Amino acid sequence: MKAVAYIEPMKVEIQDIEYPTLELRDGPGVNPANIGRKCPHGVILRLVATNICGSDQHMVRGRTTAPPGLILGHEITGEVVEVGRDVEFIAQGDLVSTPFNIACGRCRMCKEGHTGVCLNVNPDRPGSAYGYVDMGGWQGGQAEYVMVPYADWNLLRFPDREQAMEKILDLTMLSDIFPTGYHGCVTAGVTTGSTVYIAGAGPVGLAAAASAQLLGASAVLVGDMNKERLEHARTAIGAETIDLSEEGALPDRIEQILGEPVVDAAVDAVGFEARGHGADSAHEQPATVLNSIMEITRAAGKLGIPGLYVTGDPGAADEAAKVGSLSIRIGLGWAKSHSFTTGQCPVMRYHRQLMNAILRDRVQIGKAVNATVISLDDAPQGYAQFDSGVAKKYVIDPHGSIAA
């Protein structure tokens, strides 16, 4: 079958690889302790939609320790074509969404709802994902087929196939960015009447903006340096926007919009490749977003941080940042009694409710993030265009299912 492989910085290619089985094989990035791991609790999916994510782009830029040949892709929606011996409740032919977190459903973390840090799927540390560096080596889903373990626990089945295909560009966002943006808002305490600042107008930031509106925010402000993405945030979502490449202190610019220099809640949808603001916007400053959202969040406010921060960044500007150590103004956060929530979104905490919101026309997340369909063969071009900063969320259609 065909799959998208990371080759070297700024290069991905379509490769022919073996069809998956219900057992982990050796390969690029596979943890040695996971090789030969049998998954009779798993299924094989025929991919209907698999998306390019900003987290993938970090690897493709060479900003992680991802090995050459790693099969990419953790945003997975597909049809069940093979069912393992121990699967009870998922059947062949089911159309399903797959959380990007791989979770066993058996460990303490899973039982407490922390599926982003499952203890049993990655021998090196808590938490795992498909097609991602240091996440256990589970094959990525930017392919024609993929194996999903612990299927009864992980998979979200769509109740009506025809209805699901009509809304597939919305439902494909359930595997990651919609729950991730929503999680950022929930952990930031967004509720009815909240004023919210979202750093970043990429797909996760746009998903967070749409989520803030769904949660009842009275004002949603989005900051970025990409004019095309800011324009999309204004026109598709109705957000207030702040061009961070322009001069002016962020609190002052927020005051111009809200009448006060602070917001109730803030979300970091940028992560470790952040750049400075204004005159410093050409230079990478990985702590910029974290420090700025502490500055503009009211006392006793909350910060949701779904933006990715890594423990290994070979392309960082200084030695400390190469191991994930940033110059964060923790004293400011302490003085203002801020609460911080970081880490992978536990997708299963939200995806069923968000599915229902989509199916009942409460939200059009595909429109909010500008879902744009491409073929599997066009994935390398999609990566290049996404890296250029286009206001699009690329949805790969491996089998022509969406086109049909």
Tokens of 305: 């941080």
Tokens of 19: 């069809």
In this prediction, residue 29 carries a pLDDT of 93
Helix (H, G, I), strand (E, B) or coil at 55: helix
Indicate if the alpha-carbon torsion angle 229, 372, 135, 2 is positive or negative: negative
Identical fold, 2-176+346-397 and 181-342: no
Q: Where are the domains of the chain?
A: 2-176+346-397, 181-342
Between β-strands 393-397 and 371-375, what pairing exists: parallel, antiparallel or unpaired? parallel
**Residue 351 reports pLDDT greater than 90:** yes
What is the arithmetic mean of pLDDT over 267-296?
Answer: 92
In this prediction, residue 229 carries a pLDDT of 97
What is the arithmetic mean of pLDDT over 63-70?
Answer: 94
In this prediction, residue 280 carries a pLDDT of 83
**Residue 54 reports pLDDT greater than 90:** yes
Mean pLDDT rounded to a whole number for the chain: 96
Instruction: Count Cβ atoms below 10 Å from residue 68 Cβ, excluding itself.
Output: 11
Phi, psi of 258 (to 5 degrees): -100, -15
Contact 266, 304 (CB under 8 A): yes
What is the arithmetic mean of pLDDT over 369-376?
Answer: 98
181-342: CATH architecture? 3-Layer(aba) Sandwich (3.40)
Contact 199, 221 (CB under 8 A): no
What is the arithmetic mean of pLDDT over 136-158?
Answer: 97
Round to whole Å and give the CA distance between 372 and 382: 10
In this prediction, residue 318 carries a pLDDT of 86
**238-281, pLDDT tens digit by residue?**
999 999 999 999 999 999 999 999 999 999 999 999 988 888 88
Tokens of 404: 């049909």
In this prediction, residue 106 carries a pLDDT of 97
What is the arithmetic mean of pLDDT over 89-116?
Answer: 98
Round to whole Å and give the CA distance between 352 and 284: 37
Helix ranges (H only) for 215-360 are: 227-232, 250-258, 288-296, 319-322, 330-335, 351-359
Contact 21, 148 (CB under 8 A): no
**Residue 69 reports pLDDT greater than 90:** yes
Burial environment of residue 169 by CB neighbours within 10 A (0 to 12, 13 to 18, 19 or more): buried
Round to whole Å and give the CA distance between 157 and 178: 17
Q: Name the CATH superfamily, with its identifier, for domain 2-176+346-397.
A: Medium-chain alcohol dehydrogenases, catalytic domain (3.90.180.10)
Instruction: Write down the pTM of the prediction.
Output: 0.97
Round to whole Å and give the CA distance between 340 and 346: 16
What is the arithmetic mean of pLDDT over 77-106?
Answer: 98
Contact 267, 199 (CB under 8 A): yes
Contact 305, 341 (CB under 8 A): yes
**191-249, pLDDT tens digit by residue?**
999 999 999 999 999 999 999 999 999 999 999 999 999 999 999 999 999 999 999 99
> Worst-scoring range by mean pLDDT, 122-126, 220-224, 283-287, 371-375?
283-287
In this prediction, residue 77 carries a pLDDT of 98
**22-45, pLDDT tens digit by residue?**
999 999 999 999 999 999 999 999
In this prediction, residue 283 carries a pLDDT of 85
